[in-house]
Each structure stands twice: as C-alpha cells, then as structure tokens.
Amino acid sequence: DVQAGVGKLKNFEAVFTATLTVDKPRQITFKVLADDGWIFSMGASAGGSQPTYVSGPMNNAPTVGPFTGYTVMGANNKGSAPVASTVVVNFTASGTYPLELDYTEARGGHLTLLLIPYM
C-alpha cells in the first residue's frame, strides 16, 4: 500500500480540476491554505469570458497551469510551512469556469491544501 506523505510518496505532486459557477460579474476572493507549494489557474467560460488576476501571491508562478494551460491566478510555488494566502480574481460575466489547482508536497510534514471561494 502507498499513502500520500509516507514512504515512497513522502514527496509528491497532485493536480485537481473542477468548475466554478459565477452568477454575476464580480470579483471573488479565494483563500488558499497550503503546505508546501501550489498553483491556481482558471480557464474561460463556454461563452469565452476569461477571468483575470487582480491580486495575490505570484511566487515562482508559471504563465499557465502545467496540465490544462489555463491562465495562472496565483501561486506560492515553493516549499513553505502551512501558510494562508488570498487571491482575488475578476469575472466580467456570469458562467461556469474551469479551474486547475496544483499541489506539491516536498518536505514531509503537514499535508495541507484548501481552496475556499468567498462569494
């Protein structure tokens, strides 16, 4: 048996994909709590509206999400103790938006990853 954070998987990377439905144009604040690194990216809605970065950490951020190619909205792409970050994203239209959240556990210890949208 293998388990994340133990033995062969003491260090690992994971990718999570989901969708977020936005009911009206607005800015949404996301809280990210992670130990170690993370990259948060979003793609366009079916109607073609692309969310845009407003504020938040962009530590060692790539231009696009590594698996989907979505635009990066925030990142703390480095080893760290559990740390909370705030990312603000602007949505100019209602719709359903795809997202990618990448996680890296590189030093053992806490296995922590939370993404919370405040709508």
What pLDDT, in 10s, does the model give residues 41-76? 999 999 999 999 999 999 999 999 999 999 999 999
pLDDT band at 108 (very low <50, low <70, confident <90, very high): low
φ and ψ of 9, to 5 deg: -105, 25
Give the dihedral sign, CA 22/26/115/50.
positive
Average pLDDT over residues 85-108: 93
Q: Which two tokens stand for residue 12?
A: 């690992």
Higher pLDDT, 108 or 8: 8
Please name which of 49, 29, 40 lies closest in space to residue 94, comparing C-alpha atoms: 49
Ramachandran angles phi, psi of 7, nearest 5°: 55, -125
Q: Tokens representing 78?
A: 């480095």
